[in-house]
Structure 1
Amino acid sequence: MELDIVDLSRLQFAMTALYHFLFVPLTLGLSILLAIMETVYVMTNRPIWRDMTKFWGVLFGINFALGVATGIVMEFQFGMNWSYYSHYVGDIFGAPLAIEGLMAFFLEATFVGLFFFGWDRMSRIGHLIATWCVALGSNFSALWILIANGWMQNPVGAAFNPQTMRMEMTDFAAVLTNPVAQAKFVHTVSAGYVTAAVFVLGVSAWYVLKGRHIELARRSMTVAASFGLAASLSVVVLGDESGYLTTSHQKMKLATIEGMWETEPAPAPFSVIGFPDQEARETHYTVQIPWVMGLIGTRSLNTEIPGINDLVVQAEATIRQGILAYDALERIRAGSGTDSGEPAAIFERNGAALGYALLLKRYVDDPRTATEEQIRQAAIDTIPPVAPLFWSFRVMVFLGFFFIALMATFFVLAAKRRLTAHPRLLKLAVFAIPLPWIAAELGWVVAELGRQPWVIEGVLPTALAVSNLSASSVLLTLLGFVAIYTVLLVIEVKLMVNAIRKGPRTDEGASLRPRSNLPRATADAPLAPQPAPTQTA
């Protein structure tokens, strides 16, 4: 089988990103939970809350260290595997990455050290501030990464310069306030909060089932259920916001997620289930709920959501417009007609469609020589893989509503002080531990696979962004990364399991052991006989 450099480069980045995101959500959520627990400790001065903070902090530290190790590699891949991408948009994409490295990463790393080694060297208030800085640093790190990713989904605040043949930033504030980036940030961070809440809830439920560290487990479950319920509700609300923005900026992604080939009368129905057939360009055996997709996607009853086939027709027209922009650009570079200003004027009118002309580079070196069949095929290429997106989205949504139900149930049990009364629910919480990671990974599949064939939506096709490397070298590094990351994942799971089995270490003696109201015998003071109880009226 012939190896394709583009597919291999995409697969390598996808594997490293998915491995890295196994660590990120837990870091985001646990950092906030640690800050909440330590805040309660400072307010109440009860040692058990300090012990809780330290115990969950150990698990946070293991996860944080391996998350950093896997994240560094991803940034180097932009220069190694995606050199033309880095050249083409480095002025815009590099800015948030640099800020993330210089500000958020160093802020986070510095205060992580204070968190672990400052317990006996700092005041309680000082250590609490350090813990909150760890939480803020973790979230700021995610903010800048998602600003960069949001720009790839909705490239605002930038323009193509015909002289340098690169995208250049024109409005840094527009990049920062990109609505797609902001929606992705709050949605992704909330998903991390749910991940940590389910993790804490599940581990605590395991302790209750084993009859160990009951007081720590009950308090941890109460915090996790309260925090997790708010986070799971926000994930659904913020996911709805992301869907609404997708209608404006990535219509093809939305139609593909829905498996909607033809434009439906407004308001469009939502397909609960179906079997997309990309070759036949139809979705079989659909079960639909009327109006729901129209309300989610447009928040109105009279706005149509275009189907895939209509969007392909629009893409074909945009490709033809892009060919005009490409021709004008070549004339500008050759100095032909520059005195009259005609090429510049043509490019000014059609330059926004230049990226669509570059889709033809897959078939011809010069898009101006493309045949009608090649133009039609390039337009069809704008359809992402339908079935994987269709099912990934539905599984993710189902899990989102499951987390709401799970957290609401334990929130009610916590309010009634009956957290330990239902062993089957405790077992369900334990078995639910891996589910948030599945939902998070599927979310990234929807976000990134749904953008294809673009590495930057409407600007740069993925096929043009790769480095000039041999397929064998990319395959070799891909296998190497998978092997190393798998080893790291096994190491983390083993370290986490060992730390959980070992349980918390207490600083105040018996703060976590069950307490008895009976006096204890000691070597110096043997237990004295107790008087018999008297019966009273």
Structure 2
Amino acid sequence: MELDIVDLSRLQFAITALYHFLFVPLTLGLSVLLAIMETVYVMTGRTIWRQMTKFWGTLFGINFVLGVATGIVMEFQFGMNWSYYSHYVGDIFGAPLAIEGLMAFFLEATFVGLFFFGWDKLSRIGHLATTWAVAIGSNLSALWILIANGWMQNPVGSSFNPQTMRMEVTDFFAVLFNPVAQAKFVHTVSAGYVTASIFVLGVSAWYLLKGRHQMLARRSMTVAASFGLAASLSVVVLGDESGYLTTEHQKMKLAAIEGMWKTEPAPAAFTAFGFPDQEERTTHYAVHIPWVMGLIGTRSLTTQIEGIEDLVARAETHIRNGIVAYDALQKIRAAGSDDAIPADVRAAFEDKGRELGYALLLKRYVDDPGQATDAQIAEAARDTVPYVPVLFWSFRFMVGLGFYFIALTAVFFYLSSRRRLDRYPGLLRLAVLSIPLPWIAAELGWVVAEFGRQPWIIEGILPTAAAVSDLGAATVLATILGFAAIYTVLFIVEMSLMIAAIRKGPEPDHEPETPIAPAQLVSAE
């Protein structure tokens, strides 16, 4: 079988990205839970809350280190495997990543050290401020990374410069306040909060089943159930917002998620179940729920959601316009200076330039898009359809898990409020078994987000096939195998350390309880 450099580069980035995201959600969620627990400790002076903060902080630290190590690898890949992408959009994509490193990661990394080694050197208020700084830094890191990713999904505030052959920032605030990026941020961090809550819930349930550390386990479960229920509900609400924005900016992704091959009369039905068939372009045994998709996708009863076939026809029109832009670009490049560019050429590029990326889809079939046949244009238009079955089922499993988390956290919230956490061993075992499920849901979410915009690395601007480095397939395959081996070792080390820390349990804390009055909180250093 011939090895394809594009597919191998995509596979490598997918492996490293999905592996890295095993650590990100737990870091996001645990950082906030630690801050909540220590806040209760400072307000009450009860040492059990300090003990809880230290114990869950140990697990946070193990996870944080692995997250940093795997995240650095991903950033190197942009220059190594995706060099043309880095050249094409580095002026835009690089800025949020640089800000993330300077503003957020350094903040988080600095205060992580103070969190672990400052317990006996900082005042209670000082250490609490440190813990909140860690939480804020973690979430700011996610914000800037998701601003960069959101721009790839909805490339606003930028334009293509034909002289430099690069995308350049025209409005940084449009990039910063990109609605897709903001929706992805709140949705992602909420998913991280759910992940940490289910993790704390499951580990605490294991302690109750074993009859160990029951004071810590009960309080931890109460915090996790409350925080997790709020986060689970917000994930559903914010996911609805993401769906609405997808309707506006990524119509093909939404149609593929829904398995909607034909445009339906408004309001469109939601396909609860079915078997999408990419070859026959239909969804077999589909079970529809009337109106639901129209309400989710358009928030109206009169607006249509376009089907895949109509979107393919629209893509063909975009490709033909892109060929005009590509031809004008060649003439602009040949002119050498602005003064030498004919007015009609300039006007053609200004009119069709935004569709230039669609012409680049033809590079898979012909060196010069202007020489493409009608059959090649039709085939390139068909390439804009991602693989529907993967998106269809990934989305439904993710959503199903989301509603399961709401039910699970709601049950434990009720039990904690009634002080009945240890009366139902079956539910405690269910909580333990549920620990890996938020990670599965989060990984499925990224599959939907990233797989769903193929064949684009930047939606409508740059095809994935045009963004790779000029490397040999054997080189990329070797690095994939190397990463797989290293990451397997790291995973074993991570799990061994986490399991060992959980089995050991919290360290005894002999600090005397000294409750702080509200007036003391105000005047504390």
Please indicate the TM-score interval, normalised by the length of the shorter structure. Answer: over 0.9
Distance change (3 Å), C-alpha of 1:269 and 1:50? same
Classify the secondary structure of the residue corresponding to 1:508.
coil
Query: Given the alignment, which residue of 345, 355, 358 partners 1:356?
Result: 358
Rate the CA distance shift 1:126–1:289 in 2: closer, same or farther, 3 A.
Answer: same
- Once the 2 structures are TM-superposed, how far is the Cα of residue 340 of structure 1 from its aligned partner? 3.7
How far, CA to CA, are the matches of 1:447 and 1:261 in structure 2? 20
> Which amino acid is the alignment partner of residue 141 of structure 1?
S
Question: How far is the alpha carbon of 1:510 from its aligned partner?
Answer: 11
Give the residue type in structure 1 aligned to 2:172. F
Partner residue in 2 for 1:319: 319
Contact 1:204 1:220 in 2 (8 A): yes
Give the aligned partner of residue 131 of structure 2. Answer: 131
Q: Is the 8 A contact 2:35 2:132 kept in 1?
A: yes
Deviations 1:174-233, CA, capped at 9 Å, x for gaps: 000000000000000000000000000000000000000001000000000000000000
- 1:164 aligned partner, one-letter code: T
The residue number in structure 1 matching 2:345 is: 343
Give the Cα separation in 1 of the matches to 2:248 and 2:206.
45
CA displacement at 1:509 relative to structure 2: 7.9
| 2:296 alignment partner in structure 1 | 296
Q: TM-score, normalised by structure 1?
A: 0.94
Q: Which amino acid aligns with 1:95?
A: A
1:44-70 per-residue CA deviation (whole Å, 9 max, x = no partner) reads 000000000000000000000000000
Q: Distance in 2 between matches of 1:8 and 1:93?
A: 22
Mapped contact 2:332–2:341 kept (Cα < 8 A): no
Structure 1 distance, partners of 2:223, 2:422, is 15
Q: Which runs of 5+ in 2 are unaligned?
A: 514-525
Q: What residue is the counterpart of 1:236 in the other structure? A: 236
SS of aligned partner of 1:288: strand
- Residue 454 of structure 1 corresponds to 456
Q: C-alpha separation between the residues in 2 aligned to 1:505 and 1:414?
A: 24
Counterpart position of 1:96: 96
SS of the equivalent of 1:373 reads: helix
Query: Which whole-Å CA distance do the structure 2 matches of 1:269 and 1:507 have between them?
Result: 57
1:428 equivalent in structure 2? 430
**Residue matched to 1:403:** 405
Alignment of 1:251-400 (within 5 A): 251-335=251-335, 338=340, 340-400=342-402
Name the structure 2 match of 1:15: 15
Q: How does 1:117-156 map to 2 (within 5 A)?
A: 117-156=117-156
AA aligned to 1:400 is G
How far off its partner does 1:482 sit? 1.1
Match of 1:282, as an amino acid?
Answer: T
Partner of residue 207, structure 2? 207
Q: Provide the residue aligned with 1:245 in structure 2.
A: 245
Superposed CA RMSD:
1.1
Instruction: Give structure 1 stretches of 5+ with no counterpart.
Output: 512-537
Q: What is residue 529 of structure 1 aligned with on the other side?
A: none
Cα distance between partner residues in 1 of 2:38 and 2:23: 22
Aligned length: 511
Distance 1:340 1:401 in 2: 59
8 Å CA contact retained: 2:360, 2:463: yes
Q: Which has the larger radius of gyration?
A: 1
| Separation (CA, whole Å) in 1 of partners of 2:38 and 2:512 | 19
* CA deviation after TM superposition for structure 1 residue 338, in Å: 3.9
SS at match of 2:276: strand
Is the CA contact 2:158–2:171 (under 8 Å) kept in the aligned structure 1? yes
What are the superposed Cα offsets for residues 426-463 of structure 1, whole Å, 9 maximum, x if unpaired? 01000000000000000000000001000000000000
Task: Note closer, same or farther for the CA distance 1:142–1:91 as it changes in structure 2 (3 Å cut).
Answer: same
8 A Cα contact 2:47 2:512, kept in partner: no
2:263 counterpart SS class:
coil
Distance 2:77 2:152 in 1: 16
- 1:488 & 1:457 partners in 2: Cα distance? 34
Offset, 1:392: 0.1
* Counterpart AA for 1:206: W
Say which SS state the counterpart of residue 306 (structure 2) adopts: coil
Looking at structure 2, the residues matched to 338 and 438 of structure 1 have their Cα atoms a distance apart, in angstroms, of: 57
Instruction: Name the structure 2 match of 1:487.
Output: 489
Aligned equivalents of 2:341 and 2:383: distance in 1? 38
Equivalence for 2:196: 196
Q: Distance in 1 between matches of 2:344 and 2:333?
A: 13
- Of residues 329-338 and 231-240 in structure 1, the stretch that sits farther from structure 2 once superposed is 329-338
Whichever residue aligns with residue 484 of structure 2, its letter is V
Whether contact under 8 Å (1:23, 1:64) holds in the other structure is: yes
Partner of 2:60: 60
* Displacement of 1:486: 1.3
Alpha-carbon separation, structure 1, partners of 2:409 and 2:142: 25
Paired with 1:344 and 1:331, the residues of 2 have a C-alpha distance of 9
User: For the Cα contact (< 8 Å) 1:161–1:168, is it kept in 2?
Assistant: yes
Identical counterparts, % of pairs: 78
Could you tell me how far apart the structure 1 residues matched to 2:224 and 2:354 are? 48
Tell me the distance in 2 between the aligned counterparts of 1:104 and 1:340: 48
- The one-letter amino acid paired with 1:254 is L
Cα shift at 1:508: 1.4
Give the Cα–Cα distance (whole angstroms) in 2 for the partners of residues 166 and 109 of structure 1: 33
Deviations 1:113-162 (A, max 9, x none): 00000000000000000000000000000000000000000000000011
1:107 and 2:100 correspond:
no
CA contact (8 A) 2:157 2:171 kept: yes
Judge which range, 411-420 or 465-474, deviates more.
411-420
2:443 aligns with 441
Q: Distance in 2 between matches of 1:335 and 1:128?
A: 63
Deviations 1:8-31 (A, max 9, x none): 000000000000000000000000
**Letter paired with 2:488:** T
Tell me, yes or no, if the aligned pair for 1:338 and 1:344 is still in contact at 8 Å: no
Deviations 1:291-333 (A, max 9, x none): 0000000000000000000000000011001111111111111
Q: Distance in 1 between matches of 2:419 and 2:156?
A: 51
Give the letter for the 1:171 counterpart: D
Contact 2:47 2:511 in 1 (8 A): no
Contact preservation (8 Å) 2:274, 2:286: yes
Counterpart Cα distance in 2 of 1:142 and 1:408: 27
2:329 is matched by which residue type in structure 1? Answer: L
Q: Is the 8 A contact 1:275 1:283 kept in 2?
A: yes
Q: d(CA) in 2 for partners of 1:510 and 1:483?
A: 48
Q: Deviation per CA, 1:453-485: give whole Å up to 9, x if none.
A: 000000000000000000000000011011111
DSSP-derived class of the 1:420 partner: coil
- After superposition, give the CA deviation of every residue in 1:401-429 in whole Å (9 maximum; x if it has no partner): 00000000000111111111111110100
State the secondary structure of the residue aligned to 2:284: strand
One-letter identity of the residue aligned with 1:124 = R
Distance in 2 (CA, whole Å) between partners of 1:139 and 1:262 is 40
User: Quick one: which amino acid aligns to residue 347 of structure 1?
Assistant: F
Distance 1:375 1:73, change over 3 A: same
Three-state SS of the structure 2 residue aligned to 1:504 is: coil
Query: What amino acid does structure 2 have at the position aligned with 1:240?
Result: D
Q: Tell me whether 105-114 or 415-424 shows the greater mean CA deviation.
A: 415-424
